[in-house]
Each structure stands twice: as C-alpha cells, then as structure tokens.
C-alpha cells in the first residue's frame, strides 16, 4: 500500500479556523460600525461649527445681522413656533437679515445692500444628527455678538445617542455673550 504525503488541512482543522474567524468578526464588526457612526457625527458637527463661525464672521464683515436657522421642509423659510425645546432638523440656511425681522425675505435675490441675502443652505447629516435648542434660529449682530443677551445653547446628538449625558454620542455647543463658543461632551437631553 502506497502512502500519500499530507498536503493540506483536514475538514476539522478548517472548521476550527472558520469558527475562530466568526468569533473575531462578531466582536470586530460592531466596533467598526460604531467608529464609522462617530466619524460621521464628528464630520457633521465640524460642518455645523464651521457654519456658526461663518455666520459670526459674515455678520461682522457685512455689518448686518446674520441668521442661521433650521429650514421648514423644502422651502427657504425658517421654522417658527412650537414647543420650548425644539428638534430642529438637519436642513439649515444662513442669510443676511438687513431689516432685522428674522424672516428670509430676499427681494430681488441680488444681495443688494438694502435687502436680505441668502448665504448658504446646508444639510448636517440625514438622520444621524439630531439638533435641539430652545431657539429656532441663531442670530449674530453686526458686532459678532449673539442676539440673545445670555447666548445660545444647542444640543447635538447622534441618531443612536442614549437618553441623557451620552458623552460619546452627544455634545452641547454654548455660544457665549461675546460671540465665541465652546463645545462640551454630553447634553442634558437628546430627545
């Protein structure tokens, strides 16, 4: 009887390797998904912070009030009314408010010195970012200070944030009376 050399794996060895790989993947995939979601949130949060900086800068540069507000559906109208803490949505617009009425009345659309002017339309992540605030709009005065004497507080949460103080998936942006802002991990509410 002729003996054949062993060149390969037995079925048992192959099944053991597949089982080990399955166990490793079961632990690795949720971590990768979570890391991806945090990356998306961070990117959208950075975009929102850039819009805040731009709104303040434009107010000073144009010597006029600038409004950053959540859009109402697919229109160029700011959301108004509603409950005390508002879930604002992800579609926002920024405009120069020459007549200080907090309404986006653009006139001819030419951005003349005497009429409101649309500066940008932004989307801060479909479904993966929840922005809430006691105010529907953030207004910067011509000197770069907020229109509210005590500033603004904005809560930004990932769509999968736990209820309260989820420091990994939520932040609070505070706009100070001077116009500068700070970001701290966690919020008092993500709902």
| pLDDT for residue 84 | 44
| pLDDT for residue 82 | 45
Beta bridge partners of 96: 66, 117
Cα R_g (the chain), whole angstroms? 25
Cα–chain center distance at 170: 10
Distances in Å between the Cα of 19 and the Cα atoms of 23, 27, 31 are 6, 13, 19
Close Cβ partners of 36 (under 8 Å, ≥ 6 residues apart)? none
| pLDDT for residue 191 | 59
Inter-residue contact 78 to 69 (CB < 8 Å): yes
Query: What is the distance between the alpha carbons of residues 91 and 122, in angstroms, rounded to a whole number?
Result: 6
Mean of per-residue pLDDT scores for the chain: 78
Largest pairwise CA distance in the chain: 102
pTM: 0.73
Query: What is the distance between the alpha carbons of residues 59 and 51, in angstroms, rounded to a whole number?
Result: 12
CATH class of 13-185: alpha beta
Q: Which residues of the chain have pLDDT under 70?
A: 1-2, 4-6, 31-34, 37, 72-77, 79-89, 107-109, 125-128, 159-168, 188-191
Nearest-5° angle of CA 62, CA 125, CA 59?
10
Q: Label residue 37 exposed, middle or buried (CB < 10 Å: 0-12, 13-18, 19+).
A: middle
| pLDDT for residue 159 | 66
């Amino acid at each position: 009887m002729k003996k054949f050399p062993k060149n390969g794996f037995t079925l048992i060895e192959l099944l053991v390797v597949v089982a080990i790989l399955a166990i490793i993947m079961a632990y690795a995939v949720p971590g990768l998904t979570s890391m991806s979601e945090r990356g998306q949130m961070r990117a959208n949060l950075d975009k929102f912070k850039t819009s805040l900086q731009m709104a303040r800068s434009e107010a000073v540069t144009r010597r006029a009030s600038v409004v950053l507000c959540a859009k109402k559906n697919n229109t160029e109208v700011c959301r108004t009314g509603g409950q005390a803490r508002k879930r604002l949505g992800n579609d926002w617009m920024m405009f120069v408010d020459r007549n200080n009425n907090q309404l986006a009345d653009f006139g001819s659309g030419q951005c003349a010195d005497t009429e409101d002017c649309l500066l940008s339309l932004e989307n801060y992540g479909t479904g993966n970012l929840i922005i809430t605030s006691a105010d529907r709009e953030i207004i910067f005065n011509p000197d770069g200070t907020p229109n509210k004497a005590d500033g603004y507080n904005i809560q930004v949460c990932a769509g999968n944030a736990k209820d309260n103080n989820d420091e990994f998936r939520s932040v609070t942006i505070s706009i100070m009376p001077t116009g500068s802002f700070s970001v701290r991990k966690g919020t008092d509410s993500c709902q």
